[in-house]
Structure 1
């Protein structure tokens, strides 16, 4: 890639709040660009700057310095980046104009002083901390070591890029919010002989399909799944012999409610639900099921915020915020990301189906528009960074 130069003052502004980098640049602050020594010229990777404009997502590809990891972070050369609905939603809510990509799959380039599990050359996937610099829509990205995990040689970068944010959201929902037994716990072993009905509304979504897999590992059955066009994909992960069902939401609200009530009723009622849709009729349908066959101390968790009307009184409502693994739930995130790696190695954990969008970073805007318009059904849009025009030249 061609090299460009920039005044050190501009670089300092870019790295405001990043002392390790700013300190190195401070000495250059009074130096004119033309007087900089040859080795201080910066090589620019392509980075996507996200913002929202009226009518839909808008993306700009801009030049930016390679980020520098702190002592507890990993710098990753991104091979494939995943995408998520939040990539267009957060700029719309907060007016952010930053790199929104958070699903990283690539090769470790550099590690911080405190990092001991990873070294340059390792194949990894990682969950980038949301709304911070160094996102995955770039040639290089930053992740904390506790939200980075090794990927087996048999796992493609495309599959790996579909895992971090959505799979961790599913884990937080099931185990932190609903309080279901973690897969290795004695309670999970005991659950094999005790029905524990769980509604997963939006089971073919990114979060939903990981929730199905994790619930299986915790012996949670029957799984009462709601899906649509991708229901056949959900069928691959359930166990009909244990009472699991997939209900097609396209049959209408009353049909969905009736089918869920029938399945839950056979298991003694329902206490837990994960709403991976969290809008439209999903909330009211879950509420009606709980009214008819809900057990005491019911719990429902949602993946989107906002007012949740239509649930019976006494049902505990929560919002699943995956960002907690970068805050109060760091240990939880550390353990489950390594559990995902083990699952990939052993073959019982599968990444969501992916669709590679042509053009690398140049394909992000149309992909996010499709996400916004609900055109992605049971697939994760991913981007091969090397396909970006101008990268590597």
Structure 2
């Protein structure tokens, strides 16, 4: 079968490889219909080259391990592939773990479903397991300001969607070119607003202060974690009670005191509690472990998709299937994906084996 591997400089090589085998009785083999993409697909390849980095699988179950009870061959599914392990989604067939796989309802396309697994779970982990915000089934009962930085990107947009389901308002969204999309996610009648980061950091901080109306900020989800984002947030945070969730773990956050409650999402924790931690990382007590939380939230996503109260992220199909992965990742690195995700229809790849279920 065909598989794409990623190298430094956002270079992609298409290889002929063996059909995958099940890593454990808890895994599924999935025929990939649509593969989603994420910024880490090109970023991690800079230090770990030559791997099929794709982790957003949408397709049809080919076979299941002996312990798998919730899925069977022929099911339409989306799955979060275990990062840095073999058989990611940039291939004809990929491997997923039952706990991080969910059914795609008939009313949802493979393209839409492929936008959810990694980004949706990153948002959920940051919002609930790290910040400790009210869950959708135990929604907020009073005013609870939240800043979401990078609200037009997939992770930030999912954070806004989840905040709305949790009745968290006002949501103060920071965005740029994707403002029109973010506007469709918020409720102005509940105080939600949008801050345009392109006006400069000083104006962003002033906009925060105006939206907070004299309050100090206690909760921030920073889906950018760069270019002044967290420095701007710290200027309005409550230094004694505030919490900030960040998405880039391998950096020094100058301007955030060591004593301040900063948390890292590390979405790979839904696959293994032993996923490498961060020195000095803070944790909330009394919560489900990230693996159990992940399994619960993917079921929640599935139910929301079926009922229509949860949706994926806008997407743009890059032509050529696996042959288009290099172009897609180059455009992603260049910042050309604003308020949408690049996805790839695998059947468009040249020279497929045309394997059947």
TM-score of the alignment, normalized to the shorter chain, above 0.5: yes
Query: Which residue is equivalent to 2:86?
Result: 133
1:89, 1:260 → 2: CA distance? 31
1:199, 1:260 → 2: CA distance? 8
2:308, 2:85 → 1: CA distance? 33
1:365, 1:219 → 2: CA distance? 40
- Quick check: 2:216–2:236 contact (8 Å CA) kept in 1? no
Query: Which residue is equivalent to 2:175?
Result: 227
Residue number among 244, 248, 262 corresponding to 2:210 in the alignment: 262
Cα distance change of structure 1 residues 67 and 313 upon mapping to structure 2, 3 Å threshold = closer
2:258, 2:300 → 1: CA distance? 36
Query: Which residue is equivalent to 2:347?
Result: 386
Q: Secondary structure at the match of 2:63?
A: strand
Which structure has the highest helix share of the two? Answer: 1
Q: Secondary structure at the match of 2:311?
A: coil
Residue number among 292, 304, 307 corresponding to 1:331 in the alignment: 292
Q: TM-score, normalised by structure 2?
A: 0.92
Aligned length: 336
- Quick check: 1:283–1:309 contact (8 Å CA) kept in 2? no
Q: Is 1:176 aligned with 2:124?
A: no
Q: Is 1:297 aligned with 2:241?
A: yes
1:364, 1:89 → 2: CA distance? 14
CA deviation profile, 1:173-221 (whole Å, cap 9, x unmatched): 0011111121113xx2xx23x1111110000011000000111111111
Residue number among 213, 216, 227 corresponding to 2:161 in the alignment: 213
Q: TM-score, normalised by structure 1?
A: 0.83
TM-superposed deviation, 1:296: 3.1
- Quick check: 1:196–1:270 contact (8 Å CA) kept in 2? no
Q: Secondary structure at the match of 1:285?
A: helix
Query: Which residue is equivalent to 1:146?
Result: 99
TM-superposed deviation, 1:117: 0.3
Higher relative contact order (CA 8 A, sep 6+): 2
Query: Which residue is equivalent to 1:345?
Result: 306
Q: Give the unaligned 5+ runs of structure 2.
A: 274-289
Q: Give the alignment of 1:103-122 within 5 angstroms.
A: 103-122=56-75
Query: Which residue is equivalent to 1:370?
Result: 331
Q: Is 1:307 aligned with 2:260?
A: no
2:304, 2:108 → 1: CA distance? 11
Q: Secondary structure at the match of 2:31?
A: strand
Q: Is 1:81 aligned with 2:35?
A: yes
2:97, 2:259 → 1: CA distance? 38
Query: Which residue is equivalent to 1:195?
Result: 143
- Quick check: 1:197–1:269 contact (8 Å CA) kept in 2? no
- Quick check: 1:287–1:312 contact (8 Å CA) kept in 2? no
Q: Is 1:316 aligned with 2:270?
A: no
CA deviation profile, 1:8-67 (whole Å, cap 9, x unmatched): xxxxxxxxxxxxxxxxxxxxxxxxxxxxxxxxxxxxx10112221xxx211100011111
1:72, 1:386 → 2: CA distance? 27
- Quick check: 1:286–1:311 contact (8 Å CA) kept in 2? no
- Quick check: 1:257–1:289 contact (8 Å CA) kept in 2? yes
1:312, 1:78 → 2: CA distance? 44
1:315, 1:348 → 2: CA distance? 35
Q: Give the unaligned 5+ runs of structure 1.
A: 1-44
Residue number among 270, 274, 280 corresponding to 2:221 in the alignment: 274
- Quick check: 1:298–1:314 contact (8 Å CA) kept in 2? no
